[in-house]
């Protein structure tokens, strides 16, 4: 196992400050880049997107249904930790509870820092008359969620997250308990599409009059223009009962499409429609860019986008970002139709491994899907919960 922890001795009392300006938000975003500077498995998000999370005028894409606050921990004038708190009003209405989420928690290997950060976060939660905290969780189900508890010597993919082993001990010491776990898999790409899956896909397509409408020669702009809204509508419908999910708003949808457009390729998109041209299932993957993001620290400019584009063209791994089937078509074999197209292109393009990204441990439909492929369950993420008294 290889990972290198950033350590820094705390010599004075920890001071907690709320992020109140763009300069402090830059410190908030810079801290994990310093913390994981020598760690080869850490994959940062796009830096510019993280900076936009702090919006004093509350015009951010999540402002329609959330409130958020961010804290920094200082020692001797240096940042030694950070944490964010999200109040997701849409989720509280849906779940009929008074909860908040902690997000983007990072700190040096010192429990006093973690304790001070969570004290500030929980004080904010109580001040807003809430009585429960989940985390790590993001603004939506598409945001990074879950604390790594297994797989510290494995890459954290673009849609995933990374943390040092001591985080879990700190969080549990502060009274947080397991809520749910997500499983991530490393799948060996087969030499050919399983003939049984291919045959089953043909049977399903004929029985329910289904077809995959994406052509390898399509431009990503054409696919997005025609089916972008339908993809997110189906996603909201298919994921509505999963842990912590809330509907993706139009603003979040448009921002997500803009964010991912650089790395999307129609070859790794499957859109299955019925005879009425209604989208009933889809799958999306993209080439693994985690090494490029690690190298560029998630920054596209001035030259980061070149490194990322090179990674997209020269690759051995692909991420399975999303798979969803319309509820009334679930348990009918639609995922087989989706997977045939994706795996055929993955095989043709000489990928060696596929990262499944996170699947809830009780999402049996997707978990059973991966049992048909040679794989290892190499990472586990955990969402914690704590009831405040």
pLDDT of residue 4: 43
The answer to which of 112-121, 176-185, 281-290 has the lowest mean pLDDT is 281-290
Q: What is the DSSP string of 293-362?
A: HHHHTT--TTTHHHHHHHHHHS-SEEEEEEEEE-GGGTTTTHHHHHHHHHHHHHHHTT--EEE---EETT
pLDDT of residue 3: 35
pLDDT of residue 172: 98
Reported as a pLDDT band with limits 50, 70 and 90, residue 141 is confident
Counting Cβ atoms within 10 Å, is residue 274 exposed (0-12), middle (13-18) or buried (19+)? middle
- Average pLDDT across the chain, whole number: 91
> Residue 26's CB: how many other CB atoms inside 10 A?
15
pLDDT of residue 49: 92
User: Rounded to an integer, what distance in angstroms lies between the CA atom of residue 94 and that of residue 187?
Assistant: 35
Of residues 1 and 281, the one with the higher pLDDT is 281
Write out the E strands in the chain: 15-18, 66-75, 78-88, 99-107, 132-135, 147-150, 177-188, 211-212, 269-273, 279-287, 317-325, 353-355, 359-360, 375-387
User: Rounded to an integer, what distance in angstroms lies between the CA atom of residue 34 and that of residue 295?
Assistant: 13
Please tell me whether the peptide bond between 81 and the residue prior to it is cis, using omega within 30 degrees of 0.
no
Task: List, by residue range, all CATH 3.40.630.30 domains of the chain.
Answer: 15-182, 187-381
Average pLDDT (188-206) is 94
pLDDT of residue 309: 83
Of residues 244 and 380, the one with the higher pLDDT is 380
Question: How far is the first Cα of the chain from the last one, in angstroms, to the nearest whole number?
Answer: 40
Average pLDDT (153-179) is 94
User: Rounded to an integer, what distance in angstroms lies between the CA atom of residue 157 and that of residue 288?
Assistant: 7
Of residues 41 and 59, the one with the higher pLDDT is 41
Assign a CATH topology to domain 15-182: Aminopeptidase (3.40.630)
User: Rounded to an integer, what distance in angstroms lies between the CA atom of residue 233 and that of residue 224?
Assistant: 13
Which residues make beta-bridge pairs with 318? 287, 354
Reported as a pLDDT band with limits 50, 70 and 90, residue 1 is very low
pLDDT of residue 266: 93
Of residues 55 and 101, the one with the higher pLDDT is 101
pLDDT of residue 312: 79
Reported as a pLDDT band with limits 50, 70 and 90, residue 7 is very low
Q: What is the CATH number of domain 187-381?
A: 3.40.630.30
The answer to which of 89-98, 291-300, 311-320 has the lowest mean pLDDT is 311-320
Reported as a pLDDT band with limits 50, 70 and 90, residue 288 is confident
Counting Cβ atoms within 10 Å, is residue 196 exposed (0-12), middle (13-18) or buried (19+)? exposed
pTM: 0.91
Q: Are 134 and 101 in contact (CB under 8 A)?
A: yes
User: Rounded to an integer, what distance in angstroms lies between the CA atom of residue 164 and that of residue 148?
Assistant: 8
The answer to which of 104-118, 169-183, 312-326 has the lowest mean pLDDT is 312-326
pLDDT at 2 over 60: no
pLDDT at 10 over 70: no
């Amino acid at each position: 196992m290889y990972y290198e922890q950033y350590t820094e001795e705390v010599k004075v009392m920890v001071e907690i400050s709320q992020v109140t300006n763009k300069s402090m938000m830059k410190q908030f975003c810079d801290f994990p880049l310093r913390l994981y500077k020598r760690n080869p498995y850490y994959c940062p998000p796009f830096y510019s997107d993280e900076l936009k999370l702090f919006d004093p005028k509350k015009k951010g894409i999540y402002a329609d249904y959330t409130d958020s606050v961010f804290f920094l921990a200082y020692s001797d004038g240096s940042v030694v930790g950070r944490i964010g708190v999200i109040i997701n009003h849409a989720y509280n209405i849906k779940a009929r509870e008074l909860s908040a989420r902690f997000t983007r928690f990072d700190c040096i290997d010192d429990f006093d820092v973690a304790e001070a950060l969570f004290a500030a976060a929980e004080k904010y939660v109580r001040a807003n008359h809430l009585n429960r905290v989940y985390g790590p969780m993001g603004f939506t189900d598409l945001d990074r969620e879950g604390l790594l508890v297994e797989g510290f010597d494995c890459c954290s993919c673009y849609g995933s997250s990374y943390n040092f082993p001591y985080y879990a001990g700190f969080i549990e010491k502060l009274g947080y308990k397991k809520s749910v776990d997500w499983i991530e898999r490393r799948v060996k790409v087969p030499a050919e599409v399983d003939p049984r899956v291919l045959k089953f896909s043909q049977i399903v397509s004929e029985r329910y009059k289904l077809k995959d409408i994406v052509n390898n020669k399509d431009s990503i702009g054409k696919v997005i223009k025609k089916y972008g809204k339908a993809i997110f509508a189906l996603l909201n419908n298919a994921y509505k009962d999963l842990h912590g999910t809330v509907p993706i708003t139009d603003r979040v949808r448009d921002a997500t499409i803009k964010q991912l457009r650089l790395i999307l390729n129609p070859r790794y998109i499957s859109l299955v429609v019925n005879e009425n041209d209604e989208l009933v299932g889809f799958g999306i993957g993209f080439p693994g860019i985690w090494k490029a993001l690690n190298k560029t620290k998630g920054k596209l400019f001035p030259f980061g986008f070149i490194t990322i584009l090179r990674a997209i063209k020269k690759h051995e791994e692909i991420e399975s970002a999303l798979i969803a089937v319309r509820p009334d078509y679930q348990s009918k074999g639609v995922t087989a139709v989706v997977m045939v197209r994706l795996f055929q292109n993955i095989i043709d393009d000489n990928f060696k491994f596929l990262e499944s990204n996170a699947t809830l441990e009780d999402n049996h439909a997707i978990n059973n899907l991966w049992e048909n492929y040679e794989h290892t369950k190499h990472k586990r993420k955990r969402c914690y919960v704590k009831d405040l008294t």
